[in-house]
Structure formats: C-alpha cells, structure tokens
Amino acid sequence: MATILAYRDQGLKQCCTCKQVKSFEEFYKSKTSADSYRPQCVSCIKWVHIEGSFHLTQEDYWALLDHQNQSCAICNVKGLREVGTWHIDHDHSCCPKQGRSCGKCIRGLLCSSCNAKGLSWYENLPADLRNIPIFESYLSDPPAKKVLL
C-alpha cells in the first residue's frame, strides 16, 4: 500500500495488466476508480480490445505488420509502429457484426483511407464493376493468409 501511495504522489501508477509503472498521462481517466484513473494503461486497453474484437494476438499483429513492411497492405503508405494506427481489415461476409471478427477472416492491416474510403467502397460495387487490380490483388491474396495460420 505504501508503494501505491508513493507512486501516486509522484504522478505514477502501475498497470494491472502489463505491471509497468507509468505516468498518469498513460492512463484514461475514470470516475469509478479510487485514484481517478483506469486500472489498465492505454496500450493494454487497446490490446484487450484488439484481442477481444478480432481474436488477434499482439504477436500476430506485429508479425502481420512486419510482413507488410510496416505499411498499408493496399497503398503501401508507411505508418507509425503504434497500436491503433492501422485498421484491422476482415471479410465482413464472414463476420458481419461491425468491429468484430472470428480471427480467421482477417485479411490485413490498412491505413484509414484504404479501409474506409477505398476498400469498403470497392466491395459495395456490383461484381461486374469490380476490376481495379490493386483491390483485386489484395482481396485474392491478402497478407494475413500468409502470416496467420
């Protein structure tokens, strides 16, 4: 208990998941917690969401991003190596519930533009109009198929 109070006096808190001691800025505020901060750090909360919503482990996420050369699987734009930078694309015909995947239908990691404006638009086109090579290449041979087993 004395350690917890010493941390708090220094503006620090220990994450209940990763057990790392971090500054208050690395925790979301909470109205229900005794010290006004959530028990998990922001990074751990993101991983809990990713693993729960997409059944994608940290190891698989980083392996997929490495396989994609730290870039979007469609347009190849480079991004930060940070959780939350990339959108996890999955086949919505397998798992139609928004923001959820069984994990087996994950196709790749995409930038915001390719995910929201490009691929989602393309997939809503009638089949006879779908003839853009970059999208067809991605859909027929998604990077996750080579990395995630």
pTM for this structure? 0.77
Task: State mean pLDDT over 68-78.
Answer: 94
Distances, alpha carbon 49 to alpha carbons 24, 40, 61, 62, 66, in Å = 21, 12, 13, 16, 21
**What pLDDT does residue 136 have?**
95
Q: What is the pLDDT of residues 101-148, one digit of tens each?
A: 888 999 999 998 999 899 999 999 999 999 999 999 999 999 999 998
Q: Report H helices in 1-149.
A: 2-9, 42-54, 58-67, 112, 120-123, 133-140, 144-147
* Higher pLDDT among residues 9 and 130, named by residue: 130
Q: What does the chain come to in residues? A: 149
Is the Cβ–Cβ distance between 110 and 87 less than 8 Å?
A: yes
Gap between the Cα atoms of 106 and 92, Å rounded: 9
CB 13 within 8 Å of CB 24: yes
